[in-house]
Homo-oligomer: A and B are copies of this chain.
Amino acid sequence: MIDHGDVLYLQEHLPFFAKLDQADKRRVLDAASKSAYQQGETIHTRDTECNGLVIVKSGQLRAFFETEDGKEITLYRLLDNDICILSASCVLKNITFTVILEAEKDSVLFFIPAVFWGNLTARDIYAKQFAMELVAERFSEVMWVMEQIVSKNMRQRIAVFLLEQSVLETSDILTMTHESIAKNLGTAREVISRILKYLENDGIIKLSRGQIHIVNLPKLKEIGR
């Protein structure tokens, strides 16, 4: 159930909302639900295969793709007010892959169920256009990720990853395990640990239990370039 504040929030943050007719506005608000997730939780609604439209009211989600052999590739992150469309892939024509969402921080999310979203976009051109443009935006982000994977060696990719995390956390001290970096970059923990150790020996970072401290930011940026 959503309350009056939630209604105001959705009216303001769903870009297509204003253009819906009155009946569909009502239906969207009736269909919407809200849930809180704790850091580390995977986002599942009742239908675990397809969450539908996910709106991040607050928090941070990681959107990733899982390869057949169990590697994870981080595709993009969702911050406050971001909307995930690929979580509704089951009702997106021609999208045949599945994106998994995981809470990287405690998060409050709104959901518009997939079946409802599929019906709405079938009859409302603005909702459909919104969906398609968001798909295109994510496609561009994924191309950037692919470029990173192909162009940069693992040392560069780790540097870029640590820099991104530092911006997201607004801190030089990152709380994360080698295992989670390995998952993000689709490689083995040993590879990450080895490279982090090199970076520590070069005086760029300092490792301690569960934490990575960036001590030479300019040098890290240089590696990531």
Contacts and interface: CB of A to CB of B under 8 A. Distances in A.
Interface of A: 65, 67-69, 71, 73, 92-97, 125, 128-129, 132-140, 142-147, 149-151, 186
Nearest to A143: B97
Contacts of A136: 92-95, 132, 135
10 contacts: A67-B147, A68-B151, A73-B146, A94-B136, A128-B129, A128-B132, A132-B132, A132-B135, A142-B142, A145-B146
A147 B95 contact: no
A146 B150 CA distance: 9
B135 A65 contact: no
Given A133-B94, A136-B132, A71 B142 contact: no
A94 B147 CA distance: 17
Nearest to A185: B150
Contacts of A69: 151
Most-contacted residue by chain B among A92, A94, A133, A143 (CB, 10 A) = A143
Given A94-B133, A139-B139, 16 more contacts: A65-B143, A65-B147, A73-B150, A92-B136, A93-B136, A94-B140, A95-B136, A95-B139, A96-B143, A128-B129, A129-B132, A132-B132, A132-B136, A138-B139, A142-B142, A146-B146
